Structure 1
C-alpha cells in the first residue's frame, strides 16, 4: 500500500506539473495574441490615418507637374530660368531677382490707379473669393497658408497683365525697365511663362485684368489677344487667333487653343502606321510644298495626288521647350481628347530621320529656323518619346501616303524622270538610243522580209 501511495502521489505531482506547463503555455499564447493584436491595430491605425477619402487630384485640375517619364528626356525644357509663376517653383533661390521686379510692376499698376476698383484691398478680396477654385486647378495639394497663397496669386497675376499692357504700349514703359531693355531677358521670360509648371489659373489673371482695366479706353484689347500678341514671335510665329470657342485654362492652354483655331478636326484613331522619311518619299515621287506661306495653320498637313503640303513653322531657341510643354499638357490633362501636338510631333519624327531630311524641309521653307539641320533632326527624333497617342489626328494622311509609297509605278516614274528626263542631254540621249534601236529593228525586219 505504501508503494501505491507513493506512486499515486508521484502521478499527482506529474499532473500538477503538466497543468502548470499548460497554464504557462496558455499565458504565453495569450501574450503573443495580445502582441499580434496590438501590432495589427497599429498598422491599421497607420493606414487609416493616411487613407485618402478624396481623389488624389481634382477633376478640374489643369496645371501639372511634369511626369518623370517625360522630364528625363530634357529636364531644362520644363524648368524656369528667370521667373517663378504660381506655387510649384515659388521661393526657389535662383529665381529671387524677379521677385523685386514683380513687386515694382505691382507698384506701377497701383500708382496709375486706372479705375476706382484698382486698390490692393479690392484685388486681394477678389482673389480670396476664388481661392479654393485656384487651389483645385493644381494637381498637387498646395501646402501654403491662405494669406501666402492669395498674395502669390495677386503679385504674379498683376505682373503678367502689366507686362502684356507694356508690350502692347497701352501703358508707359519706364526707361529703366530691365525686362524691355535687357537683350536676353525677353526671350527667357517668354519661355518661362509658357512652362506647364509655371502657370496661373486663367480666372485669376482675367479677374485682375478686369479690375484694373480702364473702362473708357477704346484701344484697350482683350486679355487673350494681348497675351497672344506678346507670345506671337515665340509661338512658332503663327498668326494669333483669339476666337476659338473654348474656355481658357491658363496661358499655355490659350496658346494651344490659338494654334488649333484654324485647324479642322480630322478623323482620329488609336492605331496608325508610320510613314517613310522625306528621302524615301522623294524616291517614290512624292513632292513637298510649303502651304502658300500662310502662318495660321501649322498643323494642317495634307497629302493629295502625290503632293504633301505642309504649312511653315518657325522654330526658335525656345521651340523645343514649347513643343515639350504642349505635348506634356496633352498627356496630363484628361479633358483633352485630341493629342494634336503629339500627333504633329509623330509626323515630323517620321519625316525627319537624318539631318538630310531636315535640311530639305529647311530649304523648302517648311521649317524656318536659325538652328542647324542637325539640331532640328535631333529635336524631332526624340520629341514624343514615352508619350501615348490615344487619338492620332493624321490617320487618313498616313494611310494615303503609305498607299502611294507602296505603289511601284510611282517609284518607276521617279527613276525615269531622274535618270532619263532630268536634263536636255539625258532626253536627247534617250531619244537617240530609241531611234537607233528602232532603225536596227526595221533593218532586221527588212532583211528578213527580203530573204523570204
Structure 2
C-alpha cells in the first residue's frame, strides 16, 4: 500500500507539472498573440495617419472641376474633348496627341513675332513658375505632375489660346496652311473643346501670358476678355457679347457664363419653385407666346404678364447641348456660385418643351433659331438639368404667375370660345344665328305664356 501511495503521489506531481507547463505555454502563446495584434494595430494606425491630409482635400479657390459621374452619365461625349487637351485633366491622352505639335507651332509663331522685349520663352516660363501654386490650387484635385512638367504645360497651352484668339480676330496674320482656320471641321471642334469645364486653364495664366506678349505700340488692340467673348459668340447661343461687367473671371467657361448673365437683372431668388406646364398645355389655357426681338443680347430675360410670355430668341447650334451641360455642371460644382442662372433657364425650357410639337411651335415663333430638327430640340432640353439641385431659382415669381394663370378656368373657357366660335367669320355668324334663334324661341314661349294667363 505504501508503494502504491508513493506511485500515486508521483503521478499527481507529474500531472501538476504538465498542467503548469501547459499554462505557461498558453500564457506565452497569448502574449505572442497580443504582441502580434498590437503590431497589426500599429501598422494599420500608421497607414491611416500617413494618408490623413493636413489640409482640406480641395482648396477654397478651386474653380476647375471633374464632371461628377451623376451628371456625366447623361451624355459623356458632352464633357470630353475631341481635338485638343488644355490643362492637366486630359493631358497626354492618345487621341489628342496630334494637336500637341500644333500647340508648339503656335508658340513658335508667337515668339517669332517678338512683339515685346518681354516676349522670350525664359521670361514667360519664369512668370508662370512664380504663380505655380495658385494654378495648382485652381484644380479641385491634386495634380500629380512635376513642377517642370506642370509649368511647361501652362505656358504651351496658354500661349496657344491667346494666339488662337489673336488669329481669329485677325490681329495677327494667319498662315495659309494653318489647319485650324482652313480645315472646315477643326474650328467647330476647337471652340467646343475650349469651353469644356475639364479642359480649362486658370484665367490668371492666360491673362499673364497675354499682357507679356501684347504689342505696346498698338493701343487699338482688343482686351483679352473681349477677344475671348467674341471667339465664343457663335457657340454661346449667338448672344451679343458683353465683357464690361465687373465680375471676377476664373477661366474661359466662366467668361461665357458671365457674358450670358451680364445684362440679366438679378431678381429675387427662391429655393422653392414649381415646374410650369408645357407650351401645348399653356396654349390651351390661353397663354400667348411672343419673341422679344429687341433682346438678342439677353436670352435669360423671360417675362410673363397678362397671359403673355415673352421669350428672347436663342440660337441652338450643334454644340449647344455640350455648352449647356458644362455650364450647368460648373454651377453645380463651384460653391461660390449662389444663383444658378443657367440651370434655372434650363428648367424653364425643359418645362416648356415636352414633345417635338412644343419645340416646333417655338421654332415657328422664331423663339428658337436652329438648323436642328424639332425632335433634336425636344431631346436636347428634356432632362437637361436632371440630377441637379437648383438652390436659388431665378424664375420663381414667373412660374408662380404662370401656374396661377393656368389654373384659372375662366382663361381656359375664353380660349375654347375664341377657338371654337370666334376663329373665323362663319363661326361668328353661326353663333350669332343660334343666339338669335334661341332668343326668338324664348320670346315666343314667353308671349304664349302671357297670352294664356
> TM-score, normalization: structure 2?
0.98
Aligned to 1:314: 315
1:171, distance to aligned residue in structure 2 (A): 0.9
1:46, distance to aligned residue in structure 2 (A): 1.5
Higher deviation after alignment, 441-450 or 423-432: 441-450
Aligned to 1:114: 115
CA distance in 2, matches of 1:449, 1:300: 64
1:293, distance to aligned residue in structure 2 (A): 4.2
1:413, distance to aligned residue in structure 2 (A): 0.5
CA distance in 2, matches of 1:21, 1:111: 88
Aligned to 1:209: 210
Aligned to 1:364: 365
What aligned pairs does 1:233-244 form with structure 2 within 5 A after superposition? 233-244=234-245
1:174 partner SS: coil
CA distance in 2, matches of 1:33, 1:351: 69
Aligned to 1:147: 148
Aligned to 1:279: 280
CA distance in 1, matches of 2:201, 2:8: 94
CA distance in 2, matches of 1:102, 1:17: 84
What aligned pairs does 1:376-387 form with structure 2 within 5 A after superposition? 376-387=377-388
Matched, 1:60 2:61: yes
Aligned to 2:270: 269
Aligned to 1:23: 24
Higher deviation after alignment, 424-433 or 89-98: 89-98
CA distance in 2, matches of 1:336, 1:406: 34
Flag structure 1 segments of 5+ consecutive residues without an equivalent: none
CA distance in 1, matches of 2:181, 2:18: 96
Q: Deviations over 1:17-73 (max 9, x none)?
A: 211111111111111111111211121122112112211111101001111111111
CA distance in 2, matches of 1:294, 1:167: 26
Aligned to 2:181: 180
Higher deviation after alignment, 18-27 or 7-16: 7-16
1:3, distance to aligned residue in structure 2 (A): 3.8
1:440, distance to aligned residue in structure 2 (A): 1.1
Higher deviation after alignment, 207-216 or 290-299: 290-299
1:232 partner SS: coil
CA distance in 2, matches of 1:2, 1:98: 104
Q: Deviations over 1:147-201 (max 9, x none)?
A: 1111111111111111111111111111111111111111010000000000000
CA distance in 2, matches of 1:224, 1:288: 35
CA distance in 2, matches of 1:106, 1:36: 60
1:226, distance to aligned residue in structure 2 (A): 0.5
1:424, distance to aligned residue in structure 2 (A): 0.7
CA distance in 1, matches of 2:377, 2:396: 24
1:10, distance to aligned residue in structure 2 (A): 2.7
Matched, 1:94 2:95: yes
Aligned to 1:228: 229
Quote the RMSD (CA, aligned, Å). Answer: 1.1
Contact kept, 8 Å, 1:160 with 1:205, in 2: the verdict is: yes
> TM-score, normalization: structure 1?
0.98
CA distance in 2, matches of 1:139, 1:65: 8
CA distance in 1, matches of 2:270, 2:153: 42
1:79, distance to aligned residue in structure 2 (A): 0.6
CA distance in 2, matches of 1:94, 1:71: 20
Aligned to 2:428: 427
CA distance in 2, matches of 1:9, 1:180: 107
CA distance in 2, matches of 1:146, 1:15: 72
Flag structure 2 segments of 5+ consecutive residues without an equivalent: none
Aligned to 1:396: 397
Aligned to 2:137: 136
CA distance in 2, matches of 1:365, 1:293: 13
CA distance in 2, matches of 1:15, 1:107: 93
1:55 partner SS: coil
1:378, distance to aligned residue in structure 2 (A): 0.6
CA distance in 2, matches of 1:173, 1:26: 86
Contact kept, 8 Å, 1:293 with 1:312, in 2: the verdict is: no
CA distance in 2, matches of 1:294, 1:64: 32
CA distance in 2, matches of 1:270, 1:255: 25
2:348 partner SS: helix
CA distance in 1, matches of 2:365, 2:104: 47
Q: Deviations over 1:63-117 (max 9, x none)?
A: 0111111111111100111111111111111111111111111111111111111
Aligned to 2:158: 157
Aligned to 2:252: 251
What aligned pairs does 1:26-65 form with structure 2 within 5 A after superposition? 26-65=27-66
Matched, 1:373 2:369: no
Contact kept, 8 Å, 1:275 with 1:401, in 2: the verdict is: yes
Higher deviation after alignment, 13-22 or 409-418: 13-22
Contact kept, 8 Å, 1:302 with 1:309, in 2: the verdict is: yes
Aligned to 1:349: 350
Number of equivalences:
452
Q: Deviations over 1:368-393 (max 9, x none)?
A: 11111001101111211111111111
2:272 partner SS: coil
